[in-house]
Amino acid sequence: MQGILYEEVSIWQFLFITCVLGGWTAWRTGKSVAESWEELPRLLLYVALLGLGIRFVHHALFEGTMFSLHYYVVDTIVLLLFATAGFRYYRTKQMTNNYYWLYEKASPFSWKAK
């Protein structure tokens, strides 16, 4: 696995920086975009910038490569999963609370017409 998904000596560094710190930040980014009634293209832009920030944290703390397209793409895909989940969760919450006469929750990430 080392070298494919992460470049660190231990997978724990990847899990902590990318999945825990970056995942939480990406979830909150998705929440923020949903609460401001923006659409997915805005979320993609924010996640791309967040991916650069996470690459910098890997570089600054663990001497990882800053400008590696491969690891940037891996980190950004992981962040995009968290951000999209946060976006859908809060958009579902918005739609079912604000338009309660039209929609009901189908799952934590989707809604359906009543």
Q: Are strands 103-107 and 110-113 parallel, antiparallel or unpaired?
A: antiparallel
Question: Which amino acid would we find at residue 43?
Answer: L
pLDDT, position 108: 93
- End-to-end CA separation in angstroms for the chain: 46
pLDDT, position 64: 80
Element (H, E) at 32: helix 23-35
pLDDT, position 4: 61
Per-residue pLDDT of the chain (114 residues; tens, 9 = 90+): 556 666 666 788 889 999 999 999 999 999 999 999 999 999 999 999 999 999 999 999 888 888 889 889 999 999 999 999 999 999 999 999 999 999 999 999 999 998
Alpha helices by DSSP H, listed for the chain, are: 11-14, 23-35, 40-62, 69-98
Look-up of token digits 């739609």: 95
